[in-house]
Structure 1
């Protein structure tokens, strides 16, 4: 199929080998555009410039292309400024530019947003789909098991298994919360030798240690839940299509972190018939804090929802990733302002009062953080008009830094959500 046809005044094809001309007619999609030959020659290397360079007579050229986009392209030859209207599809306009031999970098800065509005978003979505754990292909046993454990909507059995897994997560989180009510922490002597023949109130702090006591019934509940979590994790690990992609998934990493504290506590706790005891040390406190990862596992509920229900969470993740550069710049500005106000309040307050809450600059950093984030615990505050002015400026600066990222995040979220929704709609229509 020919994209360009040369017609004479009667509408018939004509040989282009006669007389000098000053004008040519470009018919694009039925819309005739009459333009000087010299105008088209102003931008060398393009399709139109090459077309008229060897033409010697008045002629009309027909192109079966988009006339709306061509109007902006022809205006580029006339004015030297390449712009596009806001209602023009950026992807379609980019294809038109490539056809006419014009570089996308020639587009004016005011219109770059229209051209690139969804191009970067589409690339990010495709990249996230490539990095995501794709469902296993084929009809093998491993592929079927993987679909049952990872894709709740693939079959009724997969949905039932997802519900069971969610119930185990809820039981584990609830038991963890109730356990804190019955858990006791008491002071005991380090050993029998220290406590021999002495009353408890006679012992000094270095001779005592914190002992954490947990009822054994909660350990039994945790044992059952962790057994299910471990079995589920190992089955998914064995049956997954790609071990590397599986281990790189953030949710799978959270699953592993949620399981590990139980096995680490087996070495730290002494197991009795009615209770579990362990010395409260930084190690036991760290291991216990890892159990908070079980709450994050509730995010797997999104997999059980209809496909369009998870779009918001996925769009939010893509929006955060797309806004990371702006967040980093604002983070740098935040820490610069933090250091400035912490140092300033320290010196101004010390010049005003003999006694002050701002004992040193690191303490002042804490005040600057809670002031800039508008928390204001009230444990540290200025007591003179000079430091109060510094505090006022610190609070206003913090509000500006916190508020600025919100429009950026909202814009990226709406952009990615619209793209994901349109892509899912196309997929649904294609499967019908």
Structure 2
């Protein structure tokens, strides 16, 4: 009987020659004879410098026709070996699908995580300086450029020294107090009568609207608001000055909202002191528009979460679950319309005072019922309506629970991988190494001496 002896990185395999008769012609195992480049004349063996553990799987596949992968080897490494030995992935046994393809999902999660939350935090604030290498950007002198880099890092990374921490605390305190002032201004006890105010120009009985027209915030609140707004304005101009790419800075949503907010606040403060000049026709529309822009200050709270790793993971989980959430929204809308129409028709002859006036009101009822909110403003009053309402409630629970489980699973994956990222970052810090570029090959990554 003709046997072949194959040495794979020190591990010797002995197999029948007929087991390799069906090997693809482009595989290294094809045409193994004494003239093969892999033949070692001294030992009489065929030597391959590959993974011995994976080769056992390859040899078993050519012998039995079933492809099983070892669980002790990384799936990415198995994929490389399958490509080398010319074994198609489509022949993988179904019992190994999870172990093999789970690695693809894990790598996709890790790639997204490292893109939004790099291993070294200071890369978040300094990597954008690379855009200064563009030939279309005029570089400032080196001294000024270094000052801008330090300023940019100080404003965006609270771990860049004592000054960065102090400024971060001031900014957080200002955002919290500014938001509190905005809320307190809506309470009558924190407002005083406005001088020289003409009667309201429209026939409206809305108490909040009349309160804002005839009163003004307490002077202490207005003075505090002006001081805090000055801090935000200084922060905005400093970040604009230090930002390596002004165009990208001006395209940032938070930067645009911040600009609109502090400009609107200055206008509102000016209007409160000189409101007697706003007695012309159409003044209310102008004030309403400025007041709407003034309300954008509430979005400053997102500045507190901008560099928070947990918030980034939560948003990343929602973004990765966009497909499931879209399916949920479409299905939820369809089911809501169906139950709304059924209930509207079943309650058509009802004489109750909570009778559904139209089908749109029934859709409102279906939405609040399926989300288990149940305001109680409209509800069924007939036996058939009760049955439809019960089915609507149960369907809503099942419909929402299933896609939410997928979103929770994605969040769990990102959260766990973020813990691994944190441990890897700690290892880099202990070794004093730079973050390797994961887009490079292993040979391109610098290693420390042993």
> Which TM-score applies when normalising by structure 2?
0.73
Cα separation, 1, equivalents of 2:88 and 2:2: 27
Give yes or no for contact 2:23–2:30 (8 Å, CA) kept in 1.
no
In structure 2, do the counterparts of structure 1 residues 217 and 66 end up closer, same or farther at CA, with 3 Å as the change threshold?
Answer: same
Instruction: Work out the CA distance in 2 between the residues paired with 1:397 and 1:260.
Output: 48
Please name the residue that 2:152 is paired with.
146
Query: What residue is the counterpart of 2:394 in the other structure?
Result: 396
1:80-91 aligned at under 5 Å gives the runs: 80-91=65-76
Runs of at least 5 residues in structure 2 that lack an aligned partner in the other structure = 131-141, 432-450
Residue pair 2:24, 2:86 contacting (<8 A) in 1 also: no
**Are the equivalent residues in 1 in contact too, given 2:20–2:62 (CA < 8 A)?**
yes
**Alpha carbons 1:151, 1:158 under 8 Å: kept:** yes
In the TM superposition, what are the counterparts of 1:23-422 in structure 2 within 5 Å?
23-44=3-24, 47-50=27-30, 52=32, 60-104=45-89, 107=92, 110-111=97-98, 112-128=100-116, 134-135=126-127, 136=129, 140-181=146-187, 182-183=190-191, 189-190=199-200, 210=210, 212=212, 213-215=215-217, 216-247=219-250, 249=252, 251-253=254-256, 255-256=258-259, 258-263=261-266, 265=268, 269-271=271-273, 283=289, 286-300=292-306, 303=307, 310-353=308-351, 356-422=354-420
Shift of 1:296: 2.8
| 8 Å CA contact 2:352, 2:381 repeated in 1 | no
Q: Larger % of strand: which?
A: 1
Secondary structure of 1:375's partner? coil
SS in 2 for 1:326: helix
Residue 33 of structure 1: how far off its partner (Å): 3.2
Q: CA deviation at 1:35?
A: 3.4
Distance 1:178 1:99, change over 3 A: same
How far apart, CA to CA, are the structure 1 residues paired with 2:3 and 2:191?
A: 92
Does the CA-based 8 Å contact 2:200-2:210 persist in structure 1? no
Q: Give the Å deviation of 1:386.
A: 0.8
How much has 1:264 moved relative to structure 2?
5.4
Pair 1:228–1:83, CA change in 2 (3 A)? farther
Deviation track 1:42-83 (CA, whole Å, cap 9, x = no partner) reads: 352553443538979996333333333333333333444444
Greater CA drift, 69-78 or 321-330: 69-78
Give the paired residue count: 390
Deviation at 1:98, TM superposition (A): 3.4
Moved over 6 A (4+): 53-58, 184-188, 203-206
Gaps of 5+ in 1: 1-20, 195-202, 304-309
In 2, distance between residues paired with 1:383 and 1:374?
A: 18
Counterpart of 2:440? none
SS in structure 2 of the partner of residue 404 of structure 1 = helix
Q: Distance in 2 between matches of 1:413 and 1:46?
A: 44
Deviation at 1:403, TM superposition (A): 1.4
Alpha-carbon displacement from aligned partner over 1:369-403 (angstroms, at most 9, x marks no partner): 11111111111111111111111111111111221
Paired residues of 1:23 and 1:34 also in contact (CA < 8 A): yes
What is the aligned partner in structure 2 of residue 6 from structure 1?
A: none
